[in-house]
A and B are shown apart, each in its own frame.
Chain A
């Protein structure tokens, strides 16, 4: 063999390894798309109340995080490990940033969930159909969904690091489900429906801001995922 361009070899290895740790390519784009679908759908009672077969569309959407996790694992194996596995060097700065966001998101979801529980306990919310009964109450089996997310995917987990990452994703999925149920199906009790005042307004604005953030994040994720995928195809093209 001829003397190789050493910098190019090292860069190629690092770029390839990144697709087995922090880059997910098409899975990121898919995650963005699912987030947009959920965000748009959650604002439309007609969409959420729509039926597919004999079931509510919502009953299928509840599976979205698990479906995404499965697809993410499958896409990584099918698209980004064709030239063998490469474990990236630990990147302390990236890990710190990642855990900061994961922790922040978990705390936010926990706060939303706890405030929902508080509202139920005080009678501000009550289980029942939301949106003026446009959407019927959910079947109770949906409330048993969180344990499903605890099912491990042994084929997708290699070593303690991936298991830890999966546990975090599962935890986030569970935390995501709780407020989802509490707020989507927690209708304000009739006497208090208009009595939320400023708190209600703030809650409404907060939800709207969150909705826009999810939309922007989803759009950016789609663009970024597609760009990452194209970069990976280029990278494969440079392999001898």
Chain B
């Protein structure tokens, strides 16, 4: 079965909120767990604190993640969880990208 050729212009329809590499990495990590601490997200993505904060704020504003702030004893902790909307956006992005990419073995 052959896949229908997508409209070449559909690459412009990719969700840019998800398409940015740092945000894509953040959403991928969050989708693989229920709740992730800021520290782990920073270590696993290799982003600086400021950069990570900036991207998570954008994703939160888009409704793709939730921030949970709490205290563990006296130490403040920040954790993130992906929302249903964020998970759906990530899955839709994967589908779109897969449709746009050439089949294996073809340039």
Name A residues whose Cβ lies closer than 8 Å to a Cβ of B.
1-4, 6, 9-14, 16-17, 83-90, 158, 239-240
B33:A88 contact, CB within 8 angstroms: yes
List residues 19-71 of chain B with CB under 8 A from any CB of chain A.
Answer: 21-22, 24-25, 28-29, 31-47
Is B25 a contact of A239 with CB atoms below 8 Å?
A: no
Q: Knowing A1-B22, A4-B21, A6-B24 touch, does A13 contact B33 (C-beta < 8 A)?
A: yes
Q: Give the B interface residue count (CB, 8 A).
A: 26
Tell me if B79 is interfacial: C-beta within 8 Å of chain A: yes
* Contact indicator A89/B33 (Cβ below 8 Å): yes
- Contact status B28-A10, CB under 8 Å: yes
* In the complex, chain B residues whose CB is within 8 Å of the CB of A83: 39-40, 43-44
Point out the residue from A4, A14, A87, A158 that lies within 8 Å of B45, measured CB to CB.
A4
Q: How far is the CA of A12 from the CA of B39 in the complex (A)?
A: 15
Using Cβ atoms and an 8 Å threshold, which residues of chain A touch B46? 1, 240
Considering the chains assembled together, what is the distance between the CA atoms of A90 and B33 in angstroms?
9
Give 11 A-B contacts (CB < 8 Å), ordered by A residue. A1-B22, A3-B21, A17-B32, A83-B40, A86-B35, A86-B37, A87-B34, A87-B79, A89-B34, A240-B44, A240-B46
CB-based contact A85/B37 at 8 Å: yes
Report the bound CA distance from A10 to B77 in whole Å.
22
Kindly state the separation between the CA atoms of A207 and B69 in the bound complex, as whole angstroms: 52
**A9 and B29 within 8 A (CB):** yes
- CB-defined contacts of A85 to chain B, threshold 8 Å: 35, 37, 40, 77, 79
Cβ-defined contact, B25 with A4, below 8 A = yes
**CA gap between A2 and B36 in the complex, in Å:** 22
Q: B25–A6 contact, CB under 8 A?
A: yes
